[in-house]
Structure 1
């Protein structure tokens, strides 16, 4: 009985020992595969993928897009370029003809200037503004793939020079100054900035700035500086000793492809403002007094009564002299 128990008890112990060994072996194999995979990935792996796309390019010009990467001794499988979601260029080095171009509306690839790291587009148009993607894949066994994207803006510059118009070229402390800066059609619309003597003018209640622009049409910016505006007051305060002229400036820019400036000299006048008394214009008498006599000033009521009395006295004296001569 004891041997049987010992035998029966020994059987299951041997079975369990075999299962434990299998489980340990599987764990060792899995761990080894993980270690080998990590070593492969760390030793030969696609790294440091970077994309370089022009931020802005003028219509009709060429644009070169590039993709820089480090394969670390791994083999390159392919490089693919996309505009939006459409593939337009592919490079596979192990193919007999490594370069492939796909038909995408508006895209014209210059194959003589395209390879594993860059692709050149000829005669770009406004429709090619958008997102470009570069996808790089390494070869077997891992086929590790990474992708980067960047935006390119195709610019259409205005054909004519910007123009500034001002309502006056000399102002005093109580004058408004109005100006308009005009830029021809462009894509995207031009940015317009106002300055005085190189200082930017900001929009405030006394410094009114407005912009009117529509895609494909002329861009306007208007400036209205009211009396005592911050931009002018600083110069009028220095007028008696230092400042006699200022330069109004209109800056026009479109991203980094266009920067132009228009200047207009403005003379500052320190003459006191001209004012006319309402009494001299006869505007106050009828309103303030029923008899039309606003006050007893020398220029209005008192002087008029004095002149009337003098006139009557002169006429009476003339009549007496005439009568005396007649009697003689």
Structure 2
């Protein structure tokens, strides 16, 4: 009975071994195919598109030309196409194997200079501020892989203001207890200008005692106001210096690194201590009398009163003499 059990088990084992051979062959084939694909990719990647870089001007003056460049290394691979996009819209394509390799697509505001455009760069003529935005360069290599890469960069079109900035201050000389207010103004520009403030080269930052406001909109005048209160740190430091007689207040106006102008004013510092006005000068003590009869115990005030009494007596005598002379006539 034991031998009868062993034989069926042995026969079944041989049948399973024979049945597993197709699975083993299939696995071996898959491994071979995968190895071939990996090796092929490595061989092909050694000579294909790489090092794609885009060069777009960060800022360009409105009305000027702008050249956008796309640099890449194909090694031994062939170029299939170069495409340029503004936002998501394609406006230029270069396909070297075509009879006419350059193609221009209609995009609002874009005017391509074909004489200065090729496989690595494209030139835009007379840019307007509407062309500020993101540009993309897409490069594709030819068959068999058609490997493609894309890079993007931002360009700002700048519209300069027609006039220089202007600063106005409410006081030319200030004391320790005075406020100082100044306004810096620049005409319309695109994008709006940035304005910063300094005193003797020291940057002024907003605090409860140093208020700065900025009002700027695209295509309109830019304003910035500065108000320094008596206890602002920047003024306290200058008034504490015994030999400081004036400071230089400056506003600096910039636009995207292409525009930079300073306007400055000299502000005098009045170092005299604050004075108070006597109530007598305001007539607040005129009705008061003191023990000696003087309103303020002042010899000068008493002398003035005696002078007025003498003047009154002299006037009365003169009038009497004049009246008697007329009566005799």
Q: TM-score, normalised by structure 1?
A: 0.81
Quickly say closer, same or farther: Cα 1:126–1:9, change in 2 above 3 A.
same
**In 1, distance between residues paired with 2:163 and 2:199?**
24
- After superposing the two structures, state which structure 1 stretch, 181-190 or 276-285, moved more: 276-285
Structure 1, residues 194-240: CA drift from partner, whole Å, max 9, x if none? 111111111111111111222211111111111132112212111x2
**SS of residue paired to 2:157:** strand
Given candidates 182, 193, 205, the residue that maps to 1:190 is 193
Alignment match of 1:300 (pick from 295, 298, 318): 295
Q: Deviations over 1:131-181 (max 9, x none)?
A: 111111111101111111111111111010101111121222222211111
Contact 1:180 1:222 in 2 (8 A): yes
CA distance in 2, matches of 1:303, 1:175: 33
- With over 3 angstroms needed to count, the CA separation of the structure-2 counterparts of 1:301 and 1:115, relative to structure 1, is same
Structure 2 residue aligned with 1:257: 258
Q: Which shifted more, 20-29 or 114-123?
A: 20-29
1:229-244 equivalences in 2 (<5 Å): 229-238=232-241, 240-241=242-243, 243-244=244-245
269 and 37 in structure 1: CA distance in 2 versus 1, 3 angstrom threshold: same
Is the Cα contact below 8 Å between 1:163 and 1:182 reproduced in 2? yes
Q: CA deviation at 1:123?
A: 0.5
Indicate yes or no: 2:36 matched with 1:33.
yes
Tell me if structure 1 keeps the 8 A contact 2:111–2:125: yes
Is residue 109–residue 119 contact of structure 1 (8 Å, CA) maintained in 2? yes
Aligned equivalents of 1:40, 1:185: Cα separation in 2:
58
**Paired residue total:** 302
Identify the residue that residue 214 of structure 1 maps to in structure 2. Answer: 217
Q: Find the counterpart in structure 2 of residue 245 from structure 1.
A: 246
Structure 1 residues 278 and 204 mapped into 2: Cα distance closer, same or farther (>3 Å)?
A: farther
Shift of 1:77: 0.8
CA deviations 1:245-282 (Å, max 9, x no partner) are 21111100001110000111112222222320234324
2: CA distance, partners of 1:218 / 1:301: 58
Question: CA–CA distance in 2 between the matches of 1:105 and 1:78?
Answer: 23
Q: Is the 8 A contact 2:285 2:295 kept in 1?
A: no
- Give the equivalent residue in structure 1 for 2:131: 128
The answer for unaligned runs of 5 or more in structure 2 is 314-329
Output the CA distance in 2 between the equivalents of 1:283 and 1:70: 92
Asked if residue 100 in structure 1 is aligned to residue 103 in structure 2, the reply is: yes
Determine which of 72, 76, 98 is the counterpart of 1:73.
Answer: 76
Alignment deviations for residues 51-107 of structure 1 (CA, whole Å, 9 cap, x no partner):
111111111011111112222321111110001111000011111111111111100
Q: State whether structure 2 residue 18 is matched by structure 1 residue 23.
A: no
**Cα RMSD for the two superposed structures:** 3.2
2:181 is the counterpart of 1:178: yes
- SS of the equivalent of 2:236 reads helix
Counterpart-to-counterpart distance in 1, 2:294 and 2:54: 85
C-alpha contact 1:297 1:303 (8 A) present in aligned 2: no
Q: Normalised by the size of structure 2, how large is the TM-score? A: 0.81
| Secondary structure of residue in 1 paired with 2:51 | strand
User: The residue matched to 2:26 in structure 1 has which SS?
Assistant: helix
Q: Find the aligned partners of 2:141 and 2:291 in 1 and give their Cα distance.
A: 104
State the alpha-carbon separation in 1 of the partners of residues 134 and 163 from structure 2: 30
Say if 1:170 and 1:266, in contact at 8 Å, map to a contact too.
yes
